[in-house]
Amino acid sequence: MSSGMDIWGKVTQGANFVQILVNLGLFGYAAALMASTRFYADHNATTPISEGVWERIQLSRKLWANPSSIHEPGRKAHEFMEESRSWVAQAVGLSPTQVVFTSGGSEANTLALWGSELQNKDFRLLTMGIEHSSLLDTAKHLAKKGSQVAYLATDRDGQIDLEKLEDELDLFHPSLVSLMAANNETGALYPIPEIAKLCEKRGVLFHTDAVQALGKIPAAHFNSANMISISAHKIYGPKGIGALLVGKGLSLHATHFGGSQEIKRRGGTQNTLGIAGFGAACREIDLGKAESLSRLRDRFEERLLSRLETRIFCRGFSRLPNTSLIRFPGISADVLLSALDLAGVSASAGSACSSGSISPSHVLLAMGYPREEAKEGLRFSWGTETTEEIVDSVADTLIEIVQRIQERRRSC
């Protein structure tokens, strides 16, 4: 526990910091700090739990019996869980029997790849370098175990060439193609229905990571894949729960053993509270509201473009309605993120941050950007509680920070 001295030290340090900001002319910062207002612009990292989701979790708490038990409380818990499963299935436009609950999107990705590899002696995977780390790390692990893994290239706008994909399908002969529906950093969307057709024509299994797509774009954009990964905490549900949707009749080996839950595809007593919240989050999906975020995203981008030299990745291509990945040439994302954080803005780097320093974004590297530029990606992702006032304030704070940094560099 902190002593009184520690707390006072922090308060005075904070007050000094505000004074320094005022002296530097950073009034916007100082005001935000004093008012301790926070603006959240990191919905692709996670979202707040909605009221409706919370209510459903509380209801589930009362039905605490094991859903596999055959006594009456167990049957009631099972019924409640199955209702949630049907809402998850509905959100993706598939049937409840296709839903395999997992601990989240990462496990769903691992299950799709590893479960397929366990089914197949000569496993060959075709994926992309811009995928989420859970998928890339599983792919690396499978390669170490002896599988062949190939990566489909994307250009500097994050786009793939479907003719090149056809060539890869015909020359590499993958057992599984895994290409994401929407990229978490750039927001770029991928033509899943077209890819599904190309794979189906050749009898190749197709998995898509739709963790960022669910709830933001219609399910028709991604539900034609044979396996689909989704996660609750990106759609105002709880963390630690997700699902892999598996095509009817498709055989997939379990990677968790110990019980016949989830039609023997994922052993272990189900996370009933998480599943309750996931079901409610899926039932609450409002695609109209999600789509309307593109207006706020564009307003934010135009405000920046009108005042600063800014690069916006994948602008002009199909993107998630809520995401902007931005670069200010010559300014590393960690500098801007720290300044934004102090000014009360929660955003994110397009790259991984470990021990306080930023490593280049693997997504931007895979898109062909040099290491220095791949350290400059700054992601803003908006959600249902975002307003015009919020995007304007965040844009103005960012403009002020960037201009001050540029002025200081010119005067040095």
Ligand X SMILES: Cc1ncc(COP(=O)(O)O)c(C=O)c1O
Q: Is 104 in the site for ligand X (CB under 6 A)?
A: yes
Cβ 212 to ligand X shortest distance, Å:
5
Q: Is 158 in the site for ligand X (CB under 6 A)?
A: no
Give 269-272's long-range contacts (Cβ < 8 A, gap of 24+): 269/66, 269/67, 269/68, 270/67, 270/81, 270/101, 271/101, 271/103, 271/240, 271/241, 272/60, 272/63, 272/64, 272/67, 272/77, 272/80, 272/81
Q: Which ranges of 220-310 would DSSP assign to H, the alpha helix?
A: 261-264, 272-283, 287-307
Considering only the stretches 72-80, 104-112, 348-356, 386-394, report the one whose residues sit in contact with ligand X under the rule CB under 6 A.
104-112
Considering only the stretches 35-43, 51-59, 102-110, 340-348, report the one whose residues sit in contact with ligand X under the rule CB under 6 A.
102-110
Site string for ligand X, 191-230 (x = CB under 6 A): ------------------x-xx------------------
Query: Smaller CB distance to ligand X: residue 117 or 209?
Result: 209
Strand 357-358 vs strand 353-354: parallel, antiparallel, or unpaired? Answer: antiparallel
Give residues 289-308 in contact with ligand X (rule: CB under 6 A): none
Q: DSSP letter string over 167-188?
A: HHHHHH--SEEE--SB-TTT-B
Query: Smaller CB distance to ligand X: residue 180 or 378?
Result: 180
Q: DSSP letter string over 86-129?
A: HHHHHHHTS-GGGEEEESSHHHHHHHHHHHHHTT-TT-EEEEET
Cβ 256 to ligand X shortest distance, Å:
15
Q: Is 47 in the site for ligand X (CB under 6 A)?
A: no
Q: Is 132 in the site for ligand X (CB under 6 A)?
A: yes
Cβ 45 to ligand X shortest distance, Å:
7
CB 401 within 8 A of CB 339: yes
- Radius of gyration of the chain measured on its C-alpha atoms: 23
Give residues 230-249 in contact with ligand X (rule: CB under 6 A): 231, 233, 242
**Which structure tokens are listed for 371?**
């290491």
Query: Smaller CB distance to ligand X: residue 231 or 384?
Result: 231
Q: Is 187 in the site for ligand X (CB under 6 A)?
A: no
What CA dihedral angle connects 28, 40, 361 and 214, to 10 degrees?
A: -150
Q: Is 134 in the site for ligand X (CB under 6 A)?
A: yes
Q: Is 375 in the site for ligand X (CB under 6 A)?
A: no
Q: In the annotation, is 282 catalytic?
A: no
Distance (Å, whole) CA 310 – CA 385: 26
- For binding to ligand X (CB under 6 A), which residues are involved? 104-106, 109, 132, 134, 180, 184, 209, 211-212, 231, 233, 242
**Which residues belong to the active site?**
353
